[in-house]
Amino acid sequence: MSIFKGSGVALVTPMKENGEIDYQVLETLIEDQIAGHTDAFIICGTTGEAPTLEDDEHLEAIRRAVEIVNGRVPVIAGTGSNNTAHAVMMSREAEKLGADAVLLVTPYYNKSTQDGLYAHYRTIAASTGLPCILYNVPSRTGTNLQPATMARLARDTENIQAIKEASGSISQVAELAATPEFQEGFFDIYSGNDDQIVPICSLGGIGVISVLANVAPRQAHDIVDLYLKGDVEASRALQLRAFELCKALFCEVNPIPVKAGLTMQGYGVGAPRLPLISMSEAGRARLKKAMEDFGVL
């Protein structure tokens, strides 16, 4: 059974002016996302600024999200690390807090061989009963989880159930979808790039883990929902209409633009934590136009 189908929002972590997490705004964001038909929440991922969250506030954000969502849709906790032992600890804690699944990024900076990735993920998965979504984003981590390694992990590990594929390579996704393990239903594929939702769905994907959904939850949901219901033309048209906004949301390092976009929409999400800074004026002007053109501002 799939963890979710549709659009899972990679939710920002709202911050007060003093840099603390603003849980009141977090609740507002979650309620508005649910009203916008978001199908799942990814808490404390890259877009949620996990690298600059202390463990106690990281876990408190997961706890609060689980409490607010209250079972209405799945809550997926970002618990990945380049330290296997730390990822084990965070995954166990997320399970205790009631998360429905964990998202596990490939090890960054120290990186790994493919056999090392296999051992890393097997160790984390063995530490928790939660479903695991592996997250492949080589542009950020310097490590590419190869299709054969993902297929091997999914076949050998019952709770490794999906991958968020953000390599940017449709050929790699096609290679992944062509594996016997995917064909036999051992794992699901989610797009990790908002501008590739339809192409990845066309290869058998069932959804997206989305930055776009922060500012356009209904539209991100609809791109997937329309496709899965067979209205490929309407899904394709919406995907293409969102193209410039998807690009604008990554014209500076994520989550700089999406926090700026939410601020434009009236949400008090604050600025990113250093070493990220607020969006440039040129970037802000580009994003504002793209949001206006897409009808979300």
Phi, psi for residue 78 in degrees, rounded to 5? -75, 115
In three-state secondary structure terms, 8 is: strand
Per-residue CA distances from 115 to 33, 84, 247 (Å): 39, 14, 34
What does the chain come to in residues? 297
| Residue 103: half-sphere exposure toward Cβ, Cα within 13 Å | 31
DSSP labels for 176-214? Answer: HHTSHHHHTTS-EEEESSGGGHHHHHHTT--EEEESGGG
* Residues sharing a CB contact under 8 Å with residue 99, sequence separation 6 or more, in sequence order: 43, 62, 66, 75, 76, 77, 130
Active site residue 135: yes
Catalytic position from the list 23, 111, 121, 135: 135
Catalytic position from the list 118, 121, 164, 227: 164
Active site residue 118: no
Q: For residues 86 and 3, what is the distance between their CA atoms, to the nearest angstrom?
A: 24
Are 235 and 223 within 8 A, CB to CB?
Answer: yes
Question: What is the distance of C-alpha 276 from the center of its chain?
Answer: 19
Are 160 and 132 within 8 A, CB to CB?
Answer: yes
Active-site residue set: 135, 164
